[in-house]
Amino acid sequence: MIQRIAIIGLGTMGPGMAARLARGDLQVTAYDVAPAAIERARAMLGTAEGVLDALGIAPPPAGVGTVRFTDDLGEAVSGADLIIENVPENIVVKADVYRAIDGLIASDTIVASDTSGIPITQLQAHISHPERMVGMHWSNPPHIIPMIEVIAGEKTAPQTVATIRDLIRSIGLLPVVVKKDVPGFVENRVLYALLREAVDLVERGVIEPEDLDTCVSWGIGYKIAVVGPMALLDMAGLDIYKSVSSFLNADLSNRDDVAPMVLEKTGASKLGIKSGEGMFSYTPEQTKALQADRARKLVAVRRILEGRE
């Protein structure tokens, strides 16, 4: 049974994940190699806890769910039943972490990666006892989005998948087991098909970025939260899909490299909210207000979709 969890990497994803797991009565130890990230994560934890209160996800009545921060890797993983690796999406960085923890943990400690899409088969080549490694892909913001993909690599034991699936269910979240270890798994394959087309349309001057967001959020996103893509095909009619896809698919973006607009912005350190500018610009005050407004709306929508309002 999983009771003690170590989270390694406290950037965008780690703090919300820690807050949500603690609400599931789990004991979380949170570690990052950068002291500044630990300090930021302490503040983010408080914000995430406020959002969880608004979601009605209360702390367990007589529970022991806690989050403890540490700057010592050995202390973080000591006695953990599950490690969630949450460091940057780079196989070299992730492999370094697996090597660093290998001698510090028991051979049956489960090691999960929150990778956005590196196949688990590639990751588990860098750890001993690869049968205990599994993909556990959360979606951002992790304390609000209830779905988590669970992915087995070639060497993952079925019991490892079952343990993680059951853990996710036991704390009231929604596991989706992906049946093949394909790059990007399912969520990001679908998301990146959409993002490739969206970036292409803006880059070709077909639409302004603000208008692209209005079109997709209100035309597609709002609807798809209620009617998933497979059900949407039935709602529209497969005959319509057949007719439109017969001429449209061939015209959709099929570029297999990163779009020049994205390379230009990342080259100029325009990374989005984290750097103050990306597709749009953000002052620190705007970022704070935007994040609060988004959390409030996501909470309200989730409560309605779950039939709680």
Ligand X SMILES: NC(=O)C1=CN([C@@H]2O[C@H](COP(=O)(O)OP(=O)(O)OC[C@H]3O[C@@H](n4cnc5c(N)ncnc54)[C@H](O)[C@@H]3O)[C@@H](O)[C@H]2O)C=CC1
Ligand Y SMILES: Cc1ncc(C(=O)O)c(C(=O)O)c1O
**34/174 with CB nearer ligand X:** 34
Task: Output the smallest distance, CB 56 to ligand X, in A.
Answer: 24
9 marked among binding-site residues:
yes
Name residue 288's amino acid.
Answer: K
Binding site for ligand X (CB under 6 A): 8-14, 32-34, 37, 86-89, 93, 96-97, 114-116, 138-140
Task: Output the smallest distance, CB 308 to ligand Y, in A.
Answer: 23
The set of residues, in sequence order, having a beta carbon less than 8 Å from that of 71 and lying 6+ positions away, is 31, 32, 35, 38
Alpha-carbon gap, residue 103 to 127, rounded angstroms: 10
Nearest residue to 279 via CA among 287, 268, 270: 270
116 binds ligand Y (CB under 6 A): yes
188 binds ligand Y (CB under 6 A): yes
Task: Output the smallest distance, CB 38 to ligand Y, in A.
Answer: 22
Size of the site for ligand Y (CB under 6 A): 5
94 marked among binding-site residues:
yes
Task: Output the smallest distance, CB 184 to ligand Y, in A.
Answer: 9
274 marked among binding-site residues:
yes
**188/266 with CB nearer ligand Y:** 188
| Cα separations in angstroms, 240 against 225, 243, 297 | 21, 5, 33
188 binds, among ligand Y, ligand X, none (CB under 5 to 8 A by kind): ligand Y
Instruction: Kindly identify the residues of this chain, within the stretch 132-171, that bind ligand Y according to CB under 6 A.
Output: 139-140
To which H or E segment does residue 54 belong? helix 35-55
**25/96 with CB nearer ligand X:** 96
DSSP state of 96: H
16 token code pair: 């919300």
74 marked among binding-site residues:
no
**32/187 with CB nearer ligand Y:** 187
8 A C-beta contact, residue 77 and residue 102: no
**113/116 with CB nearer ligand Y:** 116
| Strand pairing report for 27-31 and 66-70 | parallel
Peptide bond between residue 175 and the one before it cis (omega within 30 degrees of 0): no
**267/307 with CB nearer ligand X:** 267
203 marked among binding-site residues:
no
**Could you write out the DSSP letters of every residue in 238-306?**
HHHHHHHHHHHGGGS----S--HHHHHHHHTT--BGGGTBSSSB--HHHHHHHHHHHHHHHHHHHHHHT
97 binds, among ligand Y, ligand X, none (CB under 5 to 8 A by kind): ligand X
- As annotated, the binding site for NAD(+) includes 9-14, 32, 89, 94, 116, 140, 274
**Residue ranges in contact with ligand Y by CB under 6 A:** 116, 139-140, 187-188
